[in-house]
Structures are given as structure tokens and as C-alpha cells.
Structure 1
Amino acid sequence: MRTPVKKRLHYFLTAISCYLLAHYLLPEQVDLAGDWLELLPVITASFSFFFLLPVLYWLWVIKAGEQKPWKMLIGLSLSFLVARYTFPEDVAAYFEFITYLRYPIIAIVLIIECYLIFTIVKGLWQARRLKGDPRIHTYEKYKNDDKKLTASMPVASEPATWFYVIPKFTRDHPKAMANLVLRSAKPMHFAFMLLACLASGSGFYWLLVDWSELAALFVASMCFYTVFFVTANYRIARHFSCYVIDNKLVINNSFLNLMVIDLDAIDSIQVGEFVRADNKEQICLGRGEVANVEISFSATQQYLGMLGQFNESVDKVWLCLDNPVALSSLRENSDIARTELAEAS
């Protein structure tokens, strides 16, 4: 995990910790005219909500992740909202405005999200007859629009799950040139994950059924439904983790993480030993402390992490492959193919 993603996770953990501590430690009532020591918890919480967290958001999310500055409003709005329902009543009254602003804010967000979902579903419907992984078609369609790409990848993952779960759908799938060394590609890991899904579904149903049968059925169903995701993840990791389609190299670091690389953007492919510990900022896909392939790009490529929610721009990637030599001639073969195509035309 690279530094920008780590910093984003650190911010979320810090924000959650601040909000939870404020919820449990702040008193319900406070005398604003009393001793300053009595106001110290409120002062500390205010400092955390409106100075510390915004500064961390700017440094760890905006700057480190190269995000748009306007997204600062997201963190501030959340702090105002939490303060309204967490601070003592006398102080919380000053944040009453957020309860009125939330309705237009929610309305605007819903309009934007509905528009995004409409355009994404429309795009997926138009691409329904295209062969191959729906996530790749989605990436190609929205790769120049970060907002739509982030929203569309989870939507595309649903049909992609069924595409990989049912072997008939992948009968014409390009064969893997090589496969990443992944724990999820092992049959024993697959069996363990299936048992975990079934056990968690049964366990949650047993725990919740006395409280609410509807809630128990919902949670258990979600747990059982993950069986299909686990199956798709296993088949991708075992059979389709590294392949070429339509002049693109596709790398599946499990079902959650994806790279679609234009062969024209590959500057070099080197086979050797590349130690993770020597460069902890370098993206390394596959298990193992030593990668055996390094791919350098002439143009920046995107690594889509966690179904497109943690996207990173990279100019180089390390791979731990079971057959590294298979990729060594990829660039050369691509140049030959383009030359033959140009001569034929």
C-alpha cells in the first residue's frame, strides 16, 4: 500500500476516533459562563473538529492524494454535523444552521449521484453485447473522468462477478500469459473463504433472529451472497490474473484491484529480482518479498484499487509472476504486430 492510500486511511481512522471520543466524553450540559476548566473538553473537541481534522484532511487527503481543493467542504460539513449532535446543548445550538443546510446539500448530492448512476447504467447497457470483463469496458469509457470512474467501477463489478462465476461466460476469455502469485488462487484458500461466508451468514442469523427476523435474514443473505464474489475472485486469481486483450495488458490483483495498460504505453519490461524492502513506495502486485518483473511506462497509468475507490497514478509496476519470462517479449511482439498492421494498411 502506497503512502497516499495509507495517509487517507490514517485520516479516516483519526476522524472516527475524534468523533467517537467526543460522543462518549463530552458532557450533555455545560455552563458557558463557568470555569474554563469545565469548558476544556468542549474546547479540545472544537480544536479537533475545526482545526486538526481540516489540516489533516488537507495534508493527508487533498495534497497527498492530489484531490480537488473543494473536497475540503466534505470534511468540514461532517464536523459541523457531528458537532450539532455531539456537543452539549448550549454549544450545539450554534451549529443549528447545519440542520437546515443539510437538506439542500443532500438534494444536490442526490441529483448528482442519480445523474451519475443514470449515465453509468446507460453506458453499461450499451456495452451489454461487448465481450469480456465489464470492468474493462467501464474503465475505457470513463478513464478520463475520475468522478464517473469511481462511481462506475462498483456498479460494473456486479455483472463482472457473474461473468467470472459462470464458466460458460469465460469460455472465449483470453488465456493468461502468466499468473500473479496470489494466496486467493489456492484451492485451500478458496475452500476456507467459502466456509467463512457460510459460517458468518449462519452465525449472524442466529445472533439477530431473536431481535429482528427481517434484519437477520438481510444480514445472513448478504453474507451468503458473498459466495459468488469469492468464487469470482478465485477464478480470476487462478486463471485470468495477467492477459492481453485488444492491445491492452490486463492485470488483476484479485477481483478488487485492476490495471488496464495500453501496450503502446509500455516503455520496457525487465525480468529480474526487485526487492520490496528497497522501495516501499513502489506498487508491487502479487505475493512475495521479491518481484520478478518490472514494467515501466512511457505514459502514466492508473491502478484501480478497491473497485476503483483508491485509484493511483503510476509510472512503473513490479509483478510477482509464476512465469515471468512470458512477459519479457510482450513489448517486442507488440511492436512487430503494429508494424505488420501498418504495412498491411
Structure 2
Amino acid sequence: MRRSVKYRLLFLLSAIMIYCAGFQWLPESMEAGNALGLTIAATIGYFVLLPAIYAYSIIHVGQQKWWKMIVILSLSSLMARLSFPAELASYFEFIAWLRYPIIAVLLVIELYLMVSIVKGLWQARSLKGDPRLHIIDKYRGEDEKKQTLALVLASEPASWYYAIPWFSRNHSNILANINLYSAKLWHWFLLITAALCVSALSYIVIASWSELVALIVSSILAYSLVAVTANYRISRHFSVYIQDNKLVLNNSMWGFLAVKLDDIESIKQGKWAKTLANKGNSTQSDMLIFGRGKTANILLTFKQPQTYFGALGQLPEKVEKIYLVVDTPKELQQHLHPLLSAQAFSTEELSKEASSDDSEKERLNKAS
């Protein structure tokens, strides 16, 4: 498990424990004998301890923006409004009033981003390949919020693109297959069965209250069959390939990384124990590993940090190297080596041409 994921889980468990303790032990009124001590302890937990854990685990380790501290402070204020004694809870009533303008501003921003991104997706409708690749190119260098929202919206057409074989019939040839559970037929069948059962069960449970709501909920759950099928096909057939001079790595539909060939410093074949990497120092444990197995057999090192989009783009992370567990490591290395050499040669030639042009300009300036 990666270091950033461990710290996210640490924060989640800490938040659950502190908030549950507050709801369980805080009295309803300050007239209780131990009310003051419990309230002080809850205040420290809500507004000191949890924000500190969030700042380190999410902001520092996860390399997120500092403005996201508003999230945990707002959440703690809401929990205080619901769990503190009545005499103090009223002081947090402002959260109930502030949420409306905050929600309105956020909705306006989200609507603007969605409109601009949908326009971008519409313009890219005639382009071939994974829609997420075109979104990455279009919004490269943009704000992180716009990138993540764009990838979420692009995941819908990407699901249809991979779920229906006719749509992806002209897909780029794969170089290797990452060893993933989601690429197994039994895994796909299990998820399909679970989705159908949950959809049917939700209809049965809700139908006695409202058939219309039951139909809507069960239909939404059944619609997940598209994403489940896309997850299976992308893991089995399209996990490693090259398109538009980029090496694309799909960690199922969940994770996505596209890196330019000239940004790849090296590719090595070998054996790296995943357990040792996870139990090592913080630098080793923060390595990104794609695939199931005791040992990784491919190591990709980048010239500069690349962005890995996890959780359908909601968890972007910077990585400098990545380990892969693939079925044909030797063939993958043999295929990529000439391409990387060609990219390095062309880059060197361009730099030589640029330097010669500069020298020529300098010589002309001296002559004049």
C-alpha cells in the first residue's frame, strides 16, 4: 500500500473515531457534571487534532492544495453543531446559513467548468482513441480542479468506448498486459452478478414505498454494468499501449497515466519484491506499483514528475518512477528501447540545431 493511501486511511479512521466519540459522550446540556471537560476535549479533537492530522496526511503527504483545509474545518463545525451541548451548538448555527452561498458559488464554478469541458469533449468526438487522452492534452498545464473534473466527465464516454468492442475496434496495439484481478473473467462475472443483484434488491426494497423511485434507483445501479464491462475490457486488452507518442498505462478504469516517450528516462527489466518496497523507507513505500504479484518485473523511470490520475481522476499524484507487473516484460522492454533511443536522438538533434542557430546569430551579430 502506498504511503499516501496509508495516511488517507489514517485520517479517515481518526475522523470516524473522534466524531463518533463526540456524538457518544457529549452531554445534551452544559448542566451535566462532566460537561465542561468533555466539551473541551471534543473541541480540541474537532478543531485542533483533526485539522492537524488532515494537514499532514492529506495536504502534506498527498500534496494537495492548502485551501482544502476549509473542508475539514467546515466538517468539524457541522459536527459541533450536531453534537455539542445545546448552549454551545447554537454558536455553530452560522454553518447552516453559510452553506447556501458557499453551495451557490461552488455550483456556479462547477457549472462553468462542466460547460467548458463538455464543449471540449464535443470537439474531440471525431478523434480516435481513449477520450481521456484528448482531455489530458487539452487541459495540460491547467488548474488541478479543471483536470480532475474533466477526467471524471471523460470517464463516461471512455466507459462506452471500452465496453463496446465495435467502438474500440481501431484501438492502438497493446505492448503488454498488466496482471490485474479486473482482467480475469471470474472477476468480471462476479461484479456483473453483484450489480444485477443489488439493482434487483433495491427495487424490491424501495418499490413498497415508491415504484418510480425504485425504478430510478435500480436503473442507475444497473447502468453500472457499462462501467464494469469497460473495467474488464480495458484491463484485459488495453492496459499498456502507445498512442500519439505517449505511453499509456491503465490500472483498470480506476487509474490512468499517460507519459510522453521523451519524458521516459529508462526502462529496466528485473525483479523487485513488492513486500520489500512496501516495508522499506518512506521513499520506497511511496512507489507506484501496477499489477498483482509478489514481484514487479518492469521499472519505468521518468525525467520529470508525471501525474498519475487515481480514483477516476479525483486523486492526482506526482510520480517519478513506476513499477509494473506485466506478462511479457522482455518484449515490452525490447519494444520501448528503440522508441526511447529515437526520441533521445531527435531531442539531441533539435538541441544541436538550436545551438548552431544561436552560434550563427552570435557570429552575424559580431560581424555587424
TM-score, scaled relative to structure 1: 0.92
**Are residues 1:229 and 2:235 paired?**
no
Contact 1:124 1:138 in 2 (8 A): yes
Contact 2:264 2:340 in 1 (8 A): no
Greater Rg over alpha carbons, structure? 2
For residues 190 and 82 of structure 1, the distance between their equivalents in structure 2, rounded to whole angstroms, comes to 40
For residues 252 and 146 of structure 2, the distance between their equivalents in structure 1, rounded to whole angstroms, comes to 22
The Cα offsets for residues 215-242 of structure 1, whole Å up to 9 and x where unpaired, read as 3223322221111111101111111000
- Matched position secondary structure for 1:259: strand
Shift of 1:133: 0.5
For residues 174 and 9 of structure 1, the distance between their equivalents in structure 2, rounded to whole angstroms, comes to 37
Structure 1 gaps of 5+ residues are: none
Cross-structure match for 1:295: 300
Residues 132 and 39 (structure 1), Cα distance of their counterparts in 2 relative to 1, 3 Å cut: same
Shift of 1:338: 7.3
The Cα offsets for residues 54-100 of structure 1, whole Å up to 9 and x where unpaired, read as 11111111111122222212211221122122222211111122223
Tell me which amino acid in the other structure corresponds to 2:175.
M
TM-score, scaled relative to structure 2: 0.87
Q: Quote the sequence identity (%).
A: 45
Shift of 1:142: 2.2
Superposition CA RMSD, Å = 2.1
The Cα offsets for residues 124-164 of structure 1, whole Å up to 9 and x where unpaired, read as 11211111101111122223221111111111100001111
For residues 151 and 13 of structure 1, the distance between their equivalents in structure 2, rounded to whole angstroms, comes to 27
Aligned residue runs from structure 1 range 1-345, under 5 A: 1-31=1-31, 35=33, 37-144=34-141, 145-280=143-278, 281=285, 282-329=287-334, 330-336=336-342
After TM superposition, the structure 1 stretch with the greater mean CA deviation from structure 2, 89-98 or 206-215, is 206-215
Contact 1:285 1:318 in 2 (8 A): yes
Deviation >4 Å, runs of 4+? 337-343
Residues 60 and 163 (structure 1), Cα distance of their counterparts in 2 relative to 1, 3 Å cut: same
Shift of 1:331: 3.2
Contact 2:26 2:35 in 1 (8 A): no
Tell me which amino acid in the other structure corresponds to 2:318.
S
Between Structure 1 and Structure 2, how many residues are aligned?
Answer: 341
Shift of 1:42: 2.2
For residues 17 and 140 of structure 2, the distance between their equivalents in structure 1, rounded to whole angstroms, comes to 34
Structure 2 gaps of 5+ residues are: 279-284, 351-368
For residues 28 and 143 of structure 1, the distance between their equivalents in structure 2, rounded to whole angstroms, comes to 52
